[in-house]
């Protein structure tokens, strides 16, 4: 087999995988639209997913958000204060934290905690014949397992990003009071003055797109396990790496589109 | 419901595993699939269960080609077929009872828990299953899993039941109970497709035996033939209750 044959086979496999992923995504979207009508007991799985991805990740998100918000205000005050431009820290808080960091960090935490967990769980379910069991009963694994996880992760990422932003603002205020004691109301009003409607829109779009990408990629990779338990960690790694790449790529696309439009 | 398999071929990673399999099972009949390699028989059952797409051929169940239709279109058909996996197969995040009730709840237009619970209780008493219904599947024995998966299949009152190795993981006492239960259930008119190398299972319920070796049908034997049992005895792959375990 020469180098062109290998390249051809590799390209064909990539195209087949892309087509397969596209069909999977379409199937998930179609089933999601009819989720409320499905008699498939997926609601409990949905609640469990929101609990696991959203609620249980909350302490970690709040800890990181408080630290990031505080450190940005601290550094901003130190640098900008020297130029007499301390009021610009609010602009930095909005631009850096609200538009970028909050969503990226939340997405990375969700990939590390929930994306890998979803992929591992679904992979193990295949190995243990649990997916075949659902199929044999006539329950669609997409409706029962994937749609509930998909909705759960999207909702959880969205909510966690809101919590992240709130905690980051509180962290920023706490740290700024070290140098310039001020009441929270004043700090919040300055922050809200800099926060535009476009910032909120961009944060909403990004959190939904990131949540969608993480959930779909993790579920797809988990369900790609065929028979052996040794495939599970391999698929989990693929899920994590692909999710990180997808999040970064979508972040760039959305941000660039925002500035172009 | 009758089952008809025509020119079925199955490949895995482009290697042909099952070749040109054709046979049919009439309504209320029992078909036992035997062979020295359980792998082929298990794969055939998985294809019959709709879990693995064949490379070629068709499978008609009640006149419907299950692989030419979308999953949504054969849900009603699925309700009439129960599948018992070799090692049970339970959803690990549900309790044993939730697992048992899952198909019944899904199928029932109006779910009457008391009626189903009585059936489960009766079967558990028959098999002397320990009180494990509220436990997670990870905490119950393989024997209990196998029995409970059979119970799960029976309480949906299917028209066809596909069983992969009915005596697997069972001690002799429970093997006898399973065989007697299958005999009783067969009298009620259920269609069976079973993969098993047990002479006792064949003797008790078989209407036909399909012998598969290296992925191809070697012989189909019918119970209505006079020399059926003698033909069966000639197969040196079978075992009985007093021998070593049924399925290797």
pLDDT digits (tens, 9 = 90+) for B129-166: 999 999 999 999 999 999 999 999 999 999 999 999 99
Of B38, B227, B99, give the one whose Cα is nearest residue A41: B99
Residue B108 domain-assigned (yes or no)? yes
CA-based nearest residue in chain B for residue A131:
B91
Contact A130 B50 (CB under 8 A): no
- At residue B59, the pLDDT reads 92
Q: Chain B window 43-82: which residues touch A at a Cβ cutoff of 8 Å?
A: 46, 49-51, 71-72, 74-75, 78-79, 81-82
Q: Are B132 and B139 in contact (CB under 8 A)?
A: yes
Residue burial A92-130, b: 16+ Cβ < 10 Å; e: rest: bbbebbbbebbbbbbbbbbbebbbbbbbbbbbebbbbbb
Tokens linked to B121: 């209780």
Identify the CATH number of the domain in which residue B31 sits: 3.40.50.300
**Residues B134, B122: one domain?**
yes
Residue B18 domain-assigned (yes or no)? yes
pTM score of the predicted model: 0.85
Band of pLDDT at residue A138, cut at 50, 70 and 90? confident
Contact B82 A136 (CB under 8 A): yes
**Residues B15, B115: one domain?**
no
Band of pLDDT at residue B73, cut at 50, 70 and 90? confident
**Residue whose tokens read 């997926």:** A42
Asked if residue A135 has pLDDT above 70, the reply is: yes
B102 part of contact set with chain A, CB < 8 Å? yes
- Among residues B157, B173, B206, which one ends one of the domains? B157
CA distance B83 to chain A (A): 6
**Residues B113, B127: one domain?**
yes
Q: B82-110, pLDDT tens digit by residue?
A: 999 998 899 998 899 999 999 998 888 78
Asked if residue B243 has pLDDT above 50, the reply is: no
Q: Are B5 and B21 in contact (CB under 8 A)?
A: yes
Residue B57 domain-assigned (yes or no)? yes
Q: In this predicted structure, which of A41-45, B30-34, B47-51 has the lowest mean pLDDT?
A: A41-45
Share above pLDDT 70 across residues of chain A, in percent, rounded to a whole number:
98
Q: What is the mean pLDDT of chain B?
A: 89
Give the one of B92, B103, B107 whose C-beta lies nearest to A128's C-beta.
B92
Cα separation of B16 and B11, whole Å? 4
CA distance A85 to chain B (A): 56
Band of pLDDT at residue A41, cut at 50, 70 and 90? low
Give the residue, A78 or A168, on which the prediction is more confident: A168
- At residue A54, the pLDDT reads 81
Cα separation of B66 and B68, whole Å? 6
**Residues B131, B246: one domain?**
no
Cα separation of B23 and B4, whole Å? 6
- Among residues B121, B136, B157, which one ends one of the domains? B157
- Among residues B104, B124, B157, which one ends one of the domains? B157
- At residue B241, the pLDDT reads 57
How many alpha carbons lie under 13 Å from residue B40 in its C-beta half-sphere? 24
Helix residue ranges per DSSP H, chain B: 38-48, 75-78, 96-107, 113-127, 142-154, 172-187, 199-205, 228-234
Band of pLDDT at residue B62, cut at 50, 70 and 90? confident
Band of pLDDT at residue B247, cut at 50, 70 and 90? very low
- At residue B248, the pLDDT reads 38
Contact B51 A40 (CB under 8 A): no
Give the one of A39, A133, A140 whose C-beta lies nearest to B89's C-beta.
A133
Q: A171-194, pLDDT tens digit by residue?
A: 988 888 877 788 888 888 888 888
CA distances A11 to A3, A7, A17, A57, B15, Å, are: 12, 6, 10, 39, 22
Domain holding B108, by residue range, is 92-157
**DSSP reduced 3-state for A48:** helix
**Residues B187, B224: one domain?**
yes
Asked if residue B199 has pLDDT above 50, the reply is: yes
CA distance B143 to chain A (A): 16
Tokens linked to A171: 């962290």
CA distance A57 to chain B (A): 20
Residue B58 domain-assigned (yes or no)? yes
Q: Where are the domains of chain A?
A: 40-260
Cα separation of A20 and A96, whole Å? 37
CA distances B144 to B150, B151, B168, B169, Å, are: 10, 10, 11, 9
Q: Are A219 and A122 in contact (CB under 8 A)?
A: yes
Q: A200-251, pLDDT tens digit by residue?
A: 999 899 999 999 999 999 999 999 998 788 999 999 999 999 999 999 999 9
ipTM of predicted complex: 0.86
**Residues B174, B153: one domain?**
no
Residue B87 domain-assigned (yes or no)? no
Total domains present in chain B: 2
**Residues B76, B188: one domain?**
yes
- Among A138, A140, A141, A149, most B C-beta atoms within 10 A, so best to mutate, is A138
Asked if residue A74 has pLDDT above 90, the reply is: no
Which residues of A are less than 8 Å from B74 in CB distance? 138
Contact A137 B49 (CB under 8 A): no
Contact B78 A136 (CB under 8 A): yes
B85 part of contact set with chain A, CB < 8 Å? yes
Of A158, A244, A242, give the one whose Cα is nearest residue A208: A158
- At residue A239, the pLDDT reads 97
**Residues B165, B207: one domain?**
yes
CA distances B106 to A132, A190, B99, B114, Å, are: 16, 55, 11, 16
Angle at A100 between CA A97 and CA A102, to 5 degrees: 55
CA-based nearest residue in chain B for residue A137:
B103
- At residue A114, the pLDDT reads 93
Cα separation of B141 and B207, whole Å? 32
Contact B105 A41 (CB under 8 A): yes
**Residue whose tokens read 């930095």:** A92
């Amino acid at each position: 087999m020469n180098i062109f044959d290998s390249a051809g086979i590799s390209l064909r496999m990539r195209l087949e995988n892309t087509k397969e992923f596209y069909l999977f995504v379409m199937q998930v979207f179609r089933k999601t639209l009819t989720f409320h009508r499905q008699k498939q007991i997926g609601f409990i799985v949905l609640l469990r997913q929101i609990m696991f991805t959203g609620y249980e990740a909350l302490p970690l998100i709040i800890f990181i958000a408080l630290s990031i918000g505080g450190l940005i205000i601290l550094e901003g005050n130190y640098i900008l204060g020297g130029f007499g431009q301390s009021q610009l820290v609010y602009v930095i808080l909005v631009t850096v934290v609200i538009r970028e960091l909050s969503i990226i960090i939340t997405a990375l935490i969700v990939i590390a905690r929930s994306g890998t967990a979803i992929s591992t769980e679904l992979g193990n379910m295949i190995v243990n014949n649990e997916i075949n069991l659902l199929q044999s009963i006539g329950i669609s694994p997409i409706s029962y397992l994937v749609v509930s996880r998909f909705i759960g992760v999207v909702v959880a990422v969205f909510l966690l990003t809101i919590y992240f932003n709130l905690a980051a603002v509180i962290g920023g205020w706490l740290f700024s009071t070290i140098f310039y004691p001020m009441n929270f109301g004043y700090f919040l009003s300055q922050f809200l003055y800099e926060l535009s409607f476009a910032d909120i829109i961009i944060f909403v779009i990004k959190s939904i797109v990131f949540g969608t990408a993480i959930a779909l990629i993790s579920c797809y990779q988990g369900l790609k396990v065929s028979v052996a338990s040794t495939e599970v960690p391999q698929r989990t790694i693929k899920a994590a790496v692909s999710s990180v790449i997808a999040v970064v790529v979508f972040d760039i696309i959305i941000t660039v589109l925002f500035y172009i439009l | 419901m009758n089952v008809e398999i025509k020119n079925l071929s199955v490949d895995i990673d482009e290697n042909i595993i099952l070749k040109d399999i054709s046979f049919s099972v009439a309504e209320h009949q029992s078909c036992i699939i035997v062979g020295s390699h359980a792998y082929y028989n298990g794969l055939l059952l998985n294809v019959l269960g709709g879990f693995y797409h064949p490379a070629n051929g068709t499978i008609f169940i009640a006149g419907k080609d299950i692989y030419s239709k979308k999953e949504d279109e054969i849900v009603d058909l699925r309700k009439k077929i129960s599948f018992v996996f070799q090692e049970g197969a339970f959803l690990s995040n549900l309790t044993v009872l939730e697992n048992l009730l899952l198909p019944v709840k899904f199928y029932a237009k109006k779910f009457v828990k008391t009626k189903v619970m009585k059936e489960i209780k009766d079967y558990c008493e028959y098999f002397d299953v320990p009180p494990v219904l509220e436990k997670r599947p990870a905490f119950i024995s393989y024997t209990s899993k196998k029995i409970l998966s059979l119970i799960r299949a029976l309480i949906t009152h299917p028209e066809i039941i596909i069983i992969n190795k009915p005596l697997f993981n069972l001690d002799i006492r429970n093997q006898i109970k399973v065989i007697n239960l299958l005999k009783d259930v067969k009298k009620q008119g259920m269609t069976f497709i079973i993969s098993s190398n047990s002479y006792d299972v064949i003797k008790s319920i078989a209407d036909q035996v399909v012998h598969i070796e290296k992925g191809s049908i070697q012989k189909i034997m019918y119970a209505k033939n006079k020399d059926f049992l003698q033909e069966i005895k000639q197969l040196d792959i079978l075992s009985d209750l007093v021998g070593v375990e049924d399925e290797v």
